[in-house]
């Protein structure tokens, strides 16, 4: 049993539950002050792709702190940002010629939506609607919430949300209904500005996967109707689904791409929205009367950019995709074993991510299971945070087979012991 959790003192986060206090972290492990430790099996909300405090990333941060801490990114620039923009252009799809910096996944999405709406407005043919997929999650700012699923996150703000049209999630066997719904939404006048999707895997909505052929078809429908295609790869990017971008698996290149989380290897907050040249062109003019009006104080912070450059160096100089493929195999083996348990339903894996649903007890319900499981895992030295009754494992790429065994044996224990009072 681990150190007893403490209460947040003055921060306004979470549901008011006691929480562990972490002092340091390394690789896949979080360490508390008294020597207790937790295995971070969800990469601290899907960000620490290469593990905590990766030596190359930490060294780059330390070096940058000696040179330049912060700089207004309007009318001025610095080497880490220029290097990062060039580095991203070198490894991302070549039609995504422009890099716009911000500082979180939500703002990367907010920027993408503003770019899409601004694009049509600037062309003199305003469009206001965005097509979104059921069960999606894109962040917590107003625009990002608008394109997410309706629920606890956004219902209080319903009257303020953007105009969206929802298409169904392409569940296995029902993909055509999704494609037809998108086609119908695109035919309606005035046409929608854009479709935004999480490619191949809806994360916070329940780790719901769909096929590359469907993603390709959705992109093709958008292209046919000249509706912009926005890929939110905030979660799926940086190798999570087995390739650098999930879109690659469908041979799809979006008009606008959102990246964050693993962009700095998870060390510092930074995001980019990459856009095709035509989106850039509709926002700027050579006489300098037009621009894309969006900036914030910490845009392209030099230290965060240095961390991202170190992440890019890891990607280009080390066999990251091989590591990812090996992790995928380890996950598949353990998922196959745990799937034999009668409480495991719909086991699924894509790349480094494994997930399954917990079957409800007969005549019972599972509403309370998520927090209960989270507490159970925390007390057994694991950071694992199920989405309702969906358990998923998304560890950093440095995790070992033995460490994964710890994760799955705790899951097995939970499946055996947690259900008596849930009937």
The site for ligand PMP (CB under 6 A) is made up of 104-106, 109, 137-139, 198, 203-204, 232, 234-235, 260
Smallest separation (angstroms) from ligand PMP to the CB of 378: 20
- Least distance in angstroms from the C-beta of 337 to ligand PMP: 28
Q: Is 220 exposed, middle or buried (0-12, 13-18, 19+ CB in 10 A)?
A: middle
**CB of residue 101 to ligand PMP, shortest distance in Å:** 14
Please report, in range form, the residues annotated as the binding site for substrate: 45, 137, 261, 295, 385
Nearer to ligand PMP, 370 or 412 (CB): 370
Round to whole Å and give the CA distance between 13 and 32.
19
Rg (Cα) of the chain, in Å, rounded? 22
Least Å from the CB of residue 342 to ligand PMP: 31
Closest CA to 197 of 121, 112, 278: 112
Rounded to a whole number of angstroms, the minimum distance from the CB of residue 238 to ligand PMP is 12
Binding-site residues from annotation = 45, 105-106, 137, 232, 261, 295-297, 385
Contact predicate 51/60, CB 8 Å: no
H or E stretch at 130: strand 130-133
According to DSSP, the β-strands at 344-350 and 382-383 are: unpaired
Per the document, the length of the chain is: 423
99 vs 414 by CB, closer to ligand PMP: 99
Least CB distance from residue 47 to ligand PMP, whole Å?
A: 8
Q: Considering the complex, state which of residue 137 and residue 419 has its C-beta at the smaller distance from ligand PMP.
A: 137
Closer residue to ligand PMP (CB): 199 or 302: 199
Residue nearest to ligand PMP as judged by C-beta position:
105
d(CA 339, CA 356): 8
Q: Which residues are annotated as a binding site for pyridoxal 5'-phosphate?
A: 105-106, 232, 296-297
**CA–CA separation, 121 and 114 (whole Å):** 10
- Report which of 223, 230, 58, 219 is spatially closest to residue 139, judged by C-alpha positions: 230
The DSSP call for residue 16 is: S
């Amino acid at each position: 049993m681990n150190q007893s959790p403490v209460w947040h003192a003055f921060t306004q986060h979470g549901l008011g539950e006691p929480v562990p206090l972490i002092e340091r972290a390394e690789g896949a492990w979080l360490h508390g002050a008294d020597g207790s430790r937790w295995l971070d099996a969800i990469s601290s909300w899907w960000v620490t792709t290469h593990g905590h405090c990766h030596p190359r990333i930490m060294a780059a941060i330390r070096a940058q702190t000696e040179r330049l801490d912060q700089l207004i990114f309007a009318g001025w620039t610095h080497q880490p940002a220029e290097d990062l923009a060039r580095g991203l252009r070198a490894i991302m799809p070549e039609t995504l010629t422009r890099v716009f910096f911000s500082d979180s996944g939500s703002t990367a999405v907010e920027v993408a939506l503003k770019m899409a709406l601004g694009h049509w407005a600037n062309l003199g043919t305003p469009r206001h609607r965005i097509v979104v997929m059921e069960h999606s999650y894109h962040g917590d700012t107003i625009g990002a919430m608008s394109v997410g699923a309706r629920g606890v996150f956004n219902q209080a703000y319903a009257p303020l949300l953007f105009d969206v049209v929802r298409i169904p999630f392409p569940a296995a066997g029902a993909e055509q209904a999704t494609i037809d719904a998108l086609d119908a939404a695109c035919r309606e006048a005035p046409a929608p500005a854009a479709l935004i999707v999480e490619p191949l895997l809806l994360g916070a909505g329940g780790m719901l996967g769909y096929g590359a052929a469907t993603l390709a078809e959705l992109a093709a429908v958008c292209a046919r109707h000249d509706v912009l295609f926005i890929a939110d790869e905030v979660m799926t990017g940086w190798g999570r689904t087995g390739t650098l971008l999930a879109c690659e698996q469908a041979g799809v290149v979006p008009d606008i791409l959102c990246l964050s989380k693993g962009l700095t290897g998870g060390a510092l907050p930074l995001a980019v929205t990459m856009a095709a040249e035509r989106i850039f062109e509709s926002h700027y003019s050579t006489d300098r009367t037009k621009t894309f009006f969006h900036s914030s104080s910490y845009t392209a912070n030099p230290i965060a950019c240095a961390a991202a450059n170190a992440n890019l160096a890891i990607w280009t100089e080390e066999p990251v995709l091989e590591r990812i493929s090996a992790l995928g195999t380890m996950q598949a083996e353990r998922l196959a074993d745990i799937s034999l348990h009668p409480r495991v339903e719909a086991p699924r894996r894509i790349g480094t991510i494994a997930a399954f649903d917990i079957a409800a007890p007969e005549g019972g319900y599972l509403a309370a299971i998520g927090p209960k499981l989270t507490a159970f895992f925390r007390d057994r030295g694991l950071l694992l945070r199920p989405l309702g009754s969906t358990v998923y494992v998304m560890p950093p790429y440095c995790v070992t087979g033995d460490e994964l065994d710890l994760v799955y044996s705790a899951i097995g224990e939970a499946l055996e012991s947690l259900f008596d009072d849930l009937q």
